[in-house]
Structure 1
Amino acid sequence: MKMKFVLLIICLFFVRVLPAQKPVTIECRIGEGIGKIMQLSGVNNGQQKILASASYAQNGYYGFRFIPEYEGFYVLGDGKNHEYPLYLKAGDAVSLFMDKDTIYLTGKNNTAENKVLYDWVNLSKRVCEKSIFFTRSRSTYEDFFPEFEVLLSKIKPFCKNIETKNSRFNELMKHFISYELDRFALNFIYTPRSKHPSKEQRIAYYNSIVDNNKFQDEVILEMPDGIKLLKLYMMFYCLENKKNASDLQESLAVIPNKKLQGTLVVEQAKGFGRSYFEYMEFMEKAKKYVDADQLKILEDKASELYEAKKGERAIDFTCPDANGKMHSLSDYKGKVVVVDVWATWCGPCRAELPHLKKLEKAMEGKDVVFIGVSVDEKKNYEKWKKFLVEEQLPGVQLFADGWSKITKDYKITGIPRFMVFAKDGSIVESHAPRPSDPSLQDMIESELRK
């Protein structure tokens, strides 16, 4: 029987460093009602991330073969209304059949972990469809709540029988089930229905969803839909307790783990499409919830939003001089500021230096400041300091340590880059002429007259 396979190398690093690892093999036969393209997704920070896609052959078969980057949960599906969770580690083989109504394991090589997952999928199938894939199953609380309570009655014995030889999986699977129950319950009441229950009509389970003992650790980020659950959980908490869901302090109060708080802040920032300065107000409140890596993600988003247009308020930057003293663009408000972004290794930058010195000499005694910002890397710091002395560079000379924040904020991809700022701190020109062009001096003098 011919099988169509996609060879997926998830990460060359793992292939190189872990050559002894065995690949995972997934074989699947597709029945009626499944999309033409199948996707294999991994879990990245509590969200599904597509690793590979495959179209299946005429005989309805497709497959994936890859070296897993991690041991844990993965998801197989058509990206629409059909998906199936898998637990994979190096050397595993999975065989299954999937159509619009049925999913079941086939063959003899399926692992103990995936047999447990298969039993869970079948146990929770009707509740999952009514809650998560609700467009396939028109349901209201009148039929959902009784079925959900039947499922709840089977959870304790089901979890007691999770006894594979993989202790890590056994624990993760119990977390997975607990989280899925919350997700089923919450997603149901927040998705379109022909009838919605009042608080009095809800089953008792909803009274126990918010619990101070939940989300003390980061295991939720190993779940395929962990972030979806965290968002539902916060929304439920805020609505039930009349909290402002858009207020970080109020909404994050129910999530005790700091890493999870930061992850949720980063998620909120992704959808922030308003102006840079509105976003910066959000960032100021968000900073206390994020770690250094998460802060960098927030800053990158800020840089994406900023448009360095004429008349726009300038983004501030702060860098040290050769003596370690910090200087900010905002320190020179009240003067016209000319910024030169350059590097010692840049030939065109060095070619502009005689013209720049001549221009600075012509502007002596006037309300104008020249700031040189070097994007030399840290390893060339001493070379930069020596260059300043040798070339006797005037003005304020700062060291940005590589292609750092100023280059991201002002979308600088090539140097030299000259920028002119007005006395009030707004942008005159973020792509100003070079000093070798007389129009730069004209631009400065025009600003000085204002």
Structure 2
Amino acid sequence: MQINKTRFITALLLCAGLQALAQKPLTIIRGTVDKERASKVQLYQVVEGQMTEYASTTLDAGNNYAFALPEVKEGFYYVTDNAGKSLPGRLYLKSGDAVKLNILANGTELSGTSPENKVLNEWQQMYNGIAVPAFLFWSDRTEYPEFFTHLTAFIPKAAAFKKQVNTPNKRFNELLKMVIDSDVEYAAIQFIYTPRSVHPTKDQYPAYYNTILQPKKFCDTRILQLGDGLDRMDRYSLYCNMNSGTEITREERLSYSLNLFCNDTLKGIYLVQGLGRYQSLEKLRDDVAPFKKYLLTDSSKAKYLRRESALASYAKGEKAYNFAYPDVNGDTVSLASLKGKVVLVDTWATWCMPCRAEIPHLQKLEEELRNKAIAFVSLSCDEAKDEAKWKAFVEKEKLTGIQLYAKGFSEFTKYYKINAIPRFLIFDKEGKIVTVDAPRPSDPALKTLLLQLAEG
């Protein structure tokens, strides 16, 4: 009997691999969920400052769950249930750890054999005092005088706790000390940007807020080891923007934000996480061009290329989507029927206050360019049940131009991935795309662009 040597060697290697895997200690995460309507629990790992689902499981009849992981990368992980309405449970895992994390109605409770999670739980229980009102504003209505008093008293306690962090794991110790400082800052910033019945004036902020702005921030990549690391950077950028003392225009905002961070890798990762807001390929390329040198990681380069690819069908010169919707008289108007004119489409709704704020500017623009070969189309996103309301608004406000009714977020808005309004789009005389993210009428740049197209 002859034995196939290749198959025999492959079988030996497979057995050896399974044996090695079996010898690796399992990392166990288990617990209970004390919440209504929860049926599932997700475990998240951290990938470049964001939470990415690593595993999921369903709850048993007693609302218990468990994960058994044969191999984990040391670092922070997060556990949450599908009912939401609580902060994700944060834990620190190493291979072979056994951790119990209970998800309670108002927080989490962490215990286990590892010294890292013992200290982390102690910190989390302290931190919840300022984290819950900062992040769970829909269920905690703490107002700013109480929060500011608590925050001021909490800061020295956090500093004292940080000095006591001394587990056998030196890497964890240094990471947690950074996290403690970041946690306090994150909650402090988050609180002032969440809905409250009354908001404080700048002179009512505690002295701590004066220490947040720093000439150099996030100078190493450790912040990316947190599942909300990028959001912390974004919140810091917002805080700096609102408290810089100078007006930052939309065009300057990207450059301003990137200059806040003193680590080039962080700049690149921060840059690509905001690419989803771009709806125009040309605008994307123009804005990112000065900063492409910061795309240092393979993932940041790949994310940029994916966004470019997604916008390719909206590039200048591509054939536009041929919409067709009824006007106030019920007559259908299509893009094709407007051939020979430059077409400006305003996607709006009667309930949208920013949309309504642009109407006077749009009417002025229509009047100034009424002798030009330009069609001004206003495409309402009001729902079908609000047609009468839309017609009444058009009549009351004496809206001019071509008023069309799309019965909600229509195929047109879906095609151009319009999730926020107002959005202005421009198509040329041949029905081809000029831009799917044009300036608003309140911006003089729109008039300049329309004139160039109409007279060109």
Q: Shorter-chain-normalised TM-score: which range?
A: 0.5 to 0.7
CA distance in 2, matches of 1:150, 1:208: 16
Shift of 1:310: 11
- AA at the equivalent of 2:102: F
Shift of 1:213: 4.3
| 1:57 paired to 2:60 | yes
The residue aligned with 1:258 is 264
CA distance in 1, matches of 2:297, 2:250: 25
The residue aligned with 1:419 is none
Higher mean C-alpha deviation, range 303-312 or range 188-197 = 303-312
The residue aligned with 2:304 is 298
The residue aligned with 1:93 is 98
Note the alpha carbon deviations across 1:239-274, whole angstroms, 9 max, x for none: 2113346522222111111011111110111332x1
CA distance in 1, matches of 2:141, 2:268: 36
The structure-2 alpha-carbon separation of the partners of 1:17 and 1:278, relative to structure 1 and needing over 3 Å to count, comes to: farther
The structure-2 alpha-carbon separation of the partners of 1:103 and 1:300, relative to structure 1 and needing over 3 Å to count, comes to: closer
- AA at the equivalent of 1:301: R
Shift of 1:62: 0.7
* Contact 2:29-2:67 within 8 A present in 1 as well: yes
1:210 counterpart SS class: coil
CA distance in 1, matches of 2:145, 2:78: 31
Choose the corresponding residue for 1:137, options 114, 120, 140.
Answer: 140
Q: How many residues align?
A: 300
Note the alpha carbon deviations across 1:180-219, whole angstroms, 9 max, x for none: 1111011111111111111100011111111234311111
Show structure 1 runs of 5+ residues with no match.
Answer: 1-14, 314-425, 428-450
> TM-score, normalized by length of structure 1?
0.62
Choose the corresponding residue for 1:219, options 202, 219, 222.
Answer: 222
The residue aligned with 2:359 is none
Matches within 5 A, 1:223-372: 223-241=226-244, 242=246, 243-244=248-249, 247=252, 248-272=254-278, 274-291=279-296, 293=298, 294-307=300-313, 311-312=317-318
The structure-2 alpha-carbon separation of the partners of 1:171 and 1:141, relative to structure 1 and needing over 3 Å to count, comes to: same
Shift of 1:91: 0.2
Shift of 1:104: 2.6
CA distance in 2, matches of 1:237, 1:17: 54
Shift of 1:101: 2.8
Note the alpha carbon deviations across 1:299-349, whole angstroms, 9 max, x for none: 221111111899529xxxxxxxxxxxxxxxxxxxxxxxxxxxxxxxxxxxx
| 1:208 paired to 2:211 | yes
- AA at the equivalent of 1:77: T
Note the alpha carbon deviations across 1:361-405, whole angstroms, 9 max, x for none: xxxxxxxxxxxxxxxxxxxxxxxxxxxxxxxxxxxxxxxxxxxxx
The residue aligned with 1:343 is none
Shift of 1:167: 0.7
Note the alpha carbon deviations across 1:109-158, whole angstroms, 9 max, x for none: 43111111111111111211000121120122111111111211201221
* Contact 1:29-1:61 within 8 A present in 2 as well: yes
The residue aligned with 2:185 is 182
Higher mean C-alpha deviation, range 261-270 or range 276-285 = 276-285
* Contact 2:27-2:71 within 8 A present in 1 as well: yes
The structure-2 alpha-carbon separation of the partners of 1:194 and 1:309, relative to structure 1 and needing over 3 Å to count, comes to: closer
Shift of 1:234: 0.9
The structure-2 alpha-carbon separation of the partners of 1:296 and 1:163, relative to structure 1 and needing over 3 Å to count, comes to: same
* Contact 1:244-1:250 within 8 A present in 2 as well: no
Larger radius of gyration: 1
The structure-2 alpha-carbon separation of the partners of 1:284 and 1:16, relative to structure 1 and needing over 3 Å to count, comes to: farther
Higher mean C-alpha deviation, range 18-27 or range 188-197 = 18-27
CA distance in 1, matches of 2:18, 2:273: 32
* Contact 2:265-2:297 within 8 A present in 1 as well: no
2:67 counterpart SS class: strand
| 1:75 paired to 2:78 | yes
- AA at the equivalent of 1:128: A
1:51 counterpart SS class: strand
| 1:170 paired to 2:176 | no
The residue aligned with 2:7 is none
1:48 counterpart SS class: strand
The structure-2 alpha-carbon separation of the partners of 1:111 and 1:181, relative to structure 1 and needing over 3 Å to count, comes to: same
* Contact 1:22-1:90 within 8 A present in 2 as well: yes
- AA at the equivalent of 1:253: N
CA distance in 1, matches of 2:182, 2:224: 11
* Contact 1:95-1:110 within 8 A present in 2 as well: no
* Contact 1:27-1:63 within 8 A present in 2 as well: yes
Choose the corresponding residue for 2:153, options 145, 150, 154.
Answer: 150
The structure-2 alpha-carbon separation of the partners of 1:196 and 1:65, relative to structure 1 and needing over 3 Å to count, comes to: same
Task: Give the RMSD, CA atoms, in angstroms.
Answer: 2.7
CA distance in 2, matches of 1:309, 1:257: 32
The residue aligned with 2:41 is 38
Shift of 1:295: 3.2
The residue aligned with 1:445 is none
* Contact 1:189-1:196 within 8 A present in 2 as well: yes
1:306 counterpart SS class: helix
